[in-house]
A = this chain, B = another copy of it.
Amino acid sequence: MDTDRAGLRERKKHETRIALSWAAIRLTVERGLDNVRIEDIAAEAGVSTRTFSNYFGSKGEAIVARHHDRARAIAAALRERPAGEPIWEAITHAALAGFALGEPVTEGRPPDQAWVEGLRLMVAEPALQGEFQKAGAAAEAEFALAVAERTSTDADDVYPLLVAGVVGAALNIVTRRWLSVDPPPPMDELLRDVFGRLAAGLPEPR
C-alpha cells in the first residue's frame, strides 16, 4: 500500500508534508492569502504551528511545494526517455508526463469554476511570485543535470544551463496561459506548441 518501503516514519513525514501543503493551498484559494494564518494551516493538517515551521519556512513555501514537486517530476521523467531520442522531443514527452500526474484537485471531479478562479487569484498574489519562481529555479538545476547527462556535457557548461532555463521559462508560460484562457485548454496542445517553437529556433511569427 505504501509507495515505498521506507518505513512508517518516512511515510508519515511525507504525508504530513503533503497535508500541510494541501491545506495551505486550499485555504488560500478559498479565503485569499492574507486571511490564512499558519495557525489555520497547521490546524487543518492536524499538527502544531511549530511543526509547520519544521516543514516549511513560510506560508509561501508550503503553497508552492506541490508545484515544486511536479517540476522535479519533469526532470526525473527526462532521465527516463530513451537516449537516442532528439532532445526537444524527449523534453516535450517529459513535460507531458510530468503534467499527466494531474493536479490532485482534478483527480475526481471536473475543474470547479470557483476553484479555478481562486487559483487565479492565488498565482497572481504578489507575495507568492518569488516563491513560485524560486521553486522553478530549484527544479531547473535538476533539469540541467539531466540535460548534461543526456548530452554528455559538463553540468556547469553553458549548454545544459541554457536549455534548462529555457524549459523553465516555457513551463512558466504554459502554466500561466493554462490559467488565463477561459476554458482551460488541454495541456498537450500548449506544451507541443511552445516546445515546437523552441525546437524550431523561435522563428519570428508574421
Contact = CB atoms under 8 A, between A and B. Distances in A.
14 contacts: A87-B204, A151-B204, A156-B180, A157-B205, A158-B193, A158-B197, A162-B170, A162-B198, A165-B166, A165-B170, A166-B166, A166-B169, A166-B198, A201-B202
For chain A, what secondary structure do more than half of its interface residues adopt (helix, strand, loop), or is it mixed? helix
A105 B192 CA distance: 44
A10 B67 CA distance: 41
B205 A151 contact: yes
Contact of A168 (B60, B138, B169): B169
Contacts of A170: 162, 165
Contacts of A159: 197, 202, 204-205
Interface stretch (A14-22, A73-81, A127-135): A127-135
Contact of A130 (B133, B156, B168): B133
A193 to B, nearest CB: 7
Interface of A: 60, 87, 129-131, 133-134, 136-138, 151, 153, 156-159, 161-163, 165-166, 168-170, 172-173, 177, 180, 193-194, 197-198, 200-202, 204-205
Contacts of A161: 173
A156 B181 CA distance: 11
